[in-house]
Amino acid sequence: MLRFLGVLLLLGCCGCASFHGEELARLDPQELRTQPRLPPISYQIREGANPNSAEAGAGWPTASSEALFCSAFTGARHGPAEDDLHIDLAHFSVIRQPIFSMTLVLFTIASLGIIPTYAEEDYTLTVRVEYKGQLAREYVYKDHVSLWVEVLLIFWSFTHDPIEIERANFDNMLLHLIRDLRRDIPQIVTDA
């Protein structure tokens, strides 16, 4: 029993570090402050789109994503569509090669954290923009996160926290959406 508790303690000390993918360029949230604000919107996350998404795992909207919307639009109302500009978001995450990743987890456990586990998780944000009840635009943003688990990664765990990296990844996709909306909203409003 003591040996089992020792193994659990050692595995509990394993470091878990995440790293951003390079598919989607990192945008600076400070650039929103220099841009004129967009017209008011309503927005919502499609319920049950993905049980592994930021909505389920971290509780969406997070404070940072809510702040992005509030600073980019003159009004941002979380809720169903009315006769206004409405954004419907769906966030998906899928682990690449899940069988391979789970096998590595078993080796990491058996080696007491010495053999590392590596996994990549793909994130997709699909967005439907409606204006006055009609579909106006659709956007898709993709990125990935690399995740490492090993006893020697304890030192990087504090600066590469997997939950913070996932939230930052989601916020970056929202920044891309806001940038694209800034470009497209004048056309969306005049076409309707």
CA distances from 34 to 29, 31, 162 (A): 10, 6, 30
DSSP state of 40: P
CA distance 181 to 177: 6
The pLDDT of residue 97 is above 50: yes
CB atoms under 10 Å from CB of 148, counted, come to: 20
CA distances from 46 to 91, 107, 168 (A): 8, 37, 20
pLDDT class of 49 with cuts at 50, 70, 90? low
pTM, rounded to two decimals: 0.78
CA distance 186 to 36: 13
CA distance 50 to 1: 39
Dihedral of alpha carbons 50, 53, 58, 61, sign? negative
pLDDT value at residue 185: 87
Ranked by mean pLDDT, the top range of 74-78, 142-146, 167-171, 174-178 is: 174-178
Task: State pLDDT tens for residues 104-148.
Answer: 777 777 776 677 777 888 888 999 999 888 899 999 999 988 877
Q: Could you give the domains of the chain?
A: 14-191 (3.30.160.150)
pLDDT value at residue 64: 75
pLDDT value at residue 66: 77
